[in-house]
Every structure is written in structure tokens, then in C-alpha cells.
Amino acid sequence: MEPVERLYLDALTEEAAVPERSLRPQLLAGARARRRPAAPTAPWAEPYAGRVAAMDALLASAVDDDWAREIVEGWTLQELVAHLAAKDGLLAASVGAPVLGPALGATDAMGRTHEVQEYERARSPEQTRRDWRAQADALCRHLAGLSPRDMATVDGIDGALGDHVLARGLETWIHTDDAASVAGIRLPHPVAAHVEPTADLCARLLPWTMLLSGIDGAGRTLHLTLTGPGGGEWMMPLGVRDAAPGDPDASITADVIEFCFLLGGRRPPETFPAELSGDLDLARDVLRTAPALSGP
């Protein structure tokens, strides 16, 4: 199986991964039959496509109780999937891909989320799942003809298309984990080849998360080491306009998966497990402000 086709549902075939109350063993054969591999797309977009396939594999196993259970932000699983469809649709609109679901009215993330959630409340959970997957697949196929260096604007944020797509992959990964945690399911992480570019995006966002939190890191440099498959080392200038890093003022070493979840707002900065050295106040500021861009 190609890495991009590694579906989370494979983990559900292991006895320890099956929760007691909802994803019953007798449902697994049907769920495996309903799973679909990632849509064909550009190689640089495969981290996103892989997370879509993983979420879809998890949804294939959901029963009525799972769809009605609150996951995050007060949203049920069905409303969470509608939220993902809404944000995928905003990126699709920015690059000229088909926008599915209700007519595009609001162009901000929460406004569009409310539109799509209202539309999907009149539909069955399985229809919502198909609508979200169709939107994600349409986006993936359109990305096959584009460059990651193309520019896109989503929710008022201008940036390289490749970064927007990695952000969609990170959010889909985070929300897949949200849903799995509520269901009591243990899922494998993405393959290292997909973790690496996601971690790189998270590292490059640190100057912006600091600035958005009221801290200007101009002239300061962070040596960031992320361990585990897909990790690496970064010498990060902490000013958004800094042209190049200098000598490191502070160093942070942490697990790459945990770091991605910190940026995604799923790990408390105050207790985040990391080795710090150099300017400890600066290192703590980096960790404290890291989730600044996370949201619903």
C-alpha cells in the first residue's frame, strides 16, 4: 500500500483499538468496504490528501450514537465534518476549484461554517460525510494542476498555496484525533513523509504566533529540534521580517508529533514536555504563544 493510502481504519482491526460502546467489531467489515484511498493529487498535497482519507476511514465506522456525540467546540461529529467541508470549500474558492454544498455566501471561516452546518443539519450524517469527502476530493484533484508556490487567500490570510494546504492537513489531522479520542479509539500517526512538511510549517509559523501574541522576536534566533519520525532541526529567526537566523538565543527540543499538536491548540503550553536551554524566558514565550493561530 502506498503511504498516502495508509488509512487509520487499519488500526481498528486490532482488538485493543476497538472501543466498547460504538465501533463494534461486527461493523468493521462493512467499514473497511466503505473506506476510500486518498484522491489523486500533486505530491506536495499528499499530506492533506492522506489526512482526508484517514478521517474518512474513521467516519466509515461511525454509528448513530457517534454522529450525535459532542466532539469539540460544542459541535457534534456531523457538525465537525461540516466545519471541515466549509474550510476546504473556502480554499477551493480561492484557487478556482469547485465549491460544493450551499451557495457560497460568507467568506470567513466561521461564517461559512455556520452556512454549511445549517445546510447539513437537514441531511443524514452519511450524506454529510459524502459531501465533505466530495469537496475534499474536488480540491485534491484541482491541486494536481497547481504549484505550491501559487498564492491563495483564505479567511483573510494571504500565503503560499502549499502552506494553506498543509494547514488544511494539520486541521484535518487534529480533528480526526478529536473524534477518535471521544470514541476511545487509538490511531496511528501519519507517515513520516507527511509529518515532516507539517512540522516545517509549524516551525515557520512561530514568528507569527509570537507577534500575534504581542511579542516581537526580531533579532532573536531559536534552535528547534523535533525528535521522532518526520522531525528535524530548524534555526529559526523569530522576527517576521528577519532575513536570516543569527546565533541561537534559545533552544527547544521536543517530540515532533507533540509539537504539531501544540501548534494545533491541543497541548497546554504550560506543561508541554520539552528540553529548554539558553534564554529560558524566550523559550517559554515561544511555547506559550505557539497555539495563537489555532482555532475551531
Q: What is the mean pLDDT of the chain?
A: 90
- Are residues 257 and 208 part of one domain? yes
- Looking only at the bridges linking them, the beta strands covering 221-227 and 232-237 are antiparallel
Mark whether 210 and 183 lie in a shared domain.
Answer: no
Cell numbers 468493521 correspond to: 28
Instruction: Tell me the average pLDDT across 80-84.
Output: 98
Does one domain contain both 93 and 115?
A: yes
Q: What is the C-alpha to C-alpha distance for residues 81 and 113, in angstroms, rounded to an integer?
A: 10
Instruction: Say if residue 34 is in the same domain as residue 101.
Output: yes
Q: What is the pLDDT of residues 264-295, one digit of tens each?
A: 999 999 999 999 999 999 999 999 999 999 98
- pLDDT at residue 6 in the model: 44
| Model confidence at 140: pLDDT above 50 | yes
**Torsion on CA atoms 21, 25, 29, 32, rounded to nearest 10:** 60
Domain boundary among 188, 213, 231: 188
Q: How far apart are CA 57 and CA 23, in angstroms?
A: 12
Question: Is the domain of 164 the same as that of 222?
Answer: no
Coil, strand, or helix at residue 53? helix
- 39, 160: one domain: yes
Same domain, 167 and 203: no
Residue 296: pLDDT band with limits 50, 70, 90: confident
Q: Are 150 and 208 found together in one domain?
A: no
pLDDT tens by residue, 23-61: 444 444 445 556 678 889 999 999 999 999 999 999 998
CATH at residue 158 = 1.20.120.450
CATH number at residue 287: 3.30.1050.10
Q: What is the pLDDT of residue 295?
A: 86
Asked whether the predicted pLDDT for residue 4 surpasses 80, the reply is no
**Mean pLDDT of the region 169-174:** 98
Q: Give the residue with greater pLDDT, 282 vs 14.
A: 282
Q: HSE (CB half, 13 Å, CA atoms) of 45?
A: 28
Handedness of CA 160, 49, 199, 61 (dihedral sign): positive
Counting the structural domains of the chain, the total is 2
The reply to whether 260 and 119 lie within a common domain is no
Q: Are residues 175 and 212 in the same domain?
A: no
| Confidence bin at 9 (pLDDT 50/70/90) | very low
pLDDT for 162 beyond 80? yes
Same-domain status, 209 and 147: no
Sequence letter at residue 165: V
Q: What phi and psi values does residue 153 have, to the nearest 5 degrees?
A: -125, 120
Q: Are residues 107 and 174 in the same domain?
A: yes
Instruction: Count Cβ atoms within 10 A of the Cβ of residue 279 and give its class: 0-12 exposed, 13-18 middle, 19 or more buried.
Output: middle
Please give the average per-residue pLDDT across 129-133, as a whole number: 97
Among the three residues 165, 188, 211, which one is the final residue of a domain in this structure?
188
* Residue-number span of the structural domain to which 283 is assigned: 196-293
* Domain end marker among 188, 205, 226: 188
pTM of the model: 0.90
